[in-house]
Amino acid sequence: MTVPLKRCTKQEQQSVVRFLFIEGVKPIEIHRRMKIQYADRRMSRTQVYEWTEKFKTGITSVEDSPRPGPAVTEDNIAAVKNVIRKNWRVTVKEVASLLDISVGSAHHIIHDELKFRKVCARWVPKRLTPEMKERRVDACKELLRRYEAEGEAFLQRIVTGDESWVHF
């Protein structure tokens, strides 16, 4: 009688698949035996088949292959920022394609690092950048200067609205 194991790492299960594969056990039988031993904590049938295919091609290690370095670097963050500043309507997929990084990395950089979000199909910072703050101060100074020069007549010509609808 077998007692189901409570905990087993992914690598341990991959080692079991390798061992049984070397013994000549078919993938469907490997999965059935793992189902008995590991219950609901087992690999899926697809994973068992994938690992047996890897072992057929000569892979002998159950260690994950090294992944490329992180795509979230200062250079990539700066590059994404430049791409967005050139075209505020660029999509995450286009950014990823232009910079040869994954869509997930591009999404992480745009949303979490640069703190941008889409508004009316354009990327806008979640918080104002120093440049944007400076432009707003300059606009306010210009409005004050014109009010001092023209008085109430100037105020009568001002049209207000929701800034999210204004496109530059």
DSSP string for 113-158? IS-EEEETTEEEESS--HHHHHHHHHHHHHHHHHHHHHTHHHHHT-
Q: If pLDDT is split at 50, 70 and 90, which confidence band does 138 have?
A: very high
**Taking the alpha carbons of 113, 114, 118, 121 in that order, is the dihedral positive or negative?**
negative
Together in a domain, 43 and 84: no
Mean pLDDT of 162-167: 53
Together in a domain, 104 and 139: no
List, for residues 6-18, the tens digit of each pLDDT value. Answer: 567 778 888 888 8
- Answer yes or no: is 61 within a domain: no
List, for residues 19-69, the tens digit of each pLDDT value. Answer: 888 889 998 888 888 888 877 777 888 888 888 888 888 877 767 665 565
- Answer yes or no: is 27 within a domain: yes
- Answer yes or no: is 148 within a domain: yes
**Is the whole model's pTM more than 0.75, yes or no?**
no
Q: Could you tell me which residue, 162 or 95, shows the higher pLDDT? A: 95
- Answer yes or no: is 62 within a domain: no
Number of domain units in the chain: 3
Together in a domain, 14 and 49: yes
Residue 3 has pLDDT above 60, yes or no: no
Together in a domain, 121 and 134: no
Residue 126 has pLDDT above 80, yes or no: no
Together in a domain, 102 and 142: no
- Answer yes or no: is 67 within a domain: no
Q: Give 139's contacts (C-beta < 8 A, 6+ positions apart).
A: none
- 89 in Cβ contact with 122 (< 8 Å): yes
Mean pLDDT of 108-113: 88
- Answer yes or no: is 69 within a domain: no
Percentage of the chain surpassing pLDDT 90? 8
- Answer yes or no: is 106 within a domain: yes
- Answer yes or no: is 2 within a domain: no
pLDDT at site 153: 86
Q: Which domain holds residue 85?
A: 74-125
Together in a domain, 45 and 27: yes
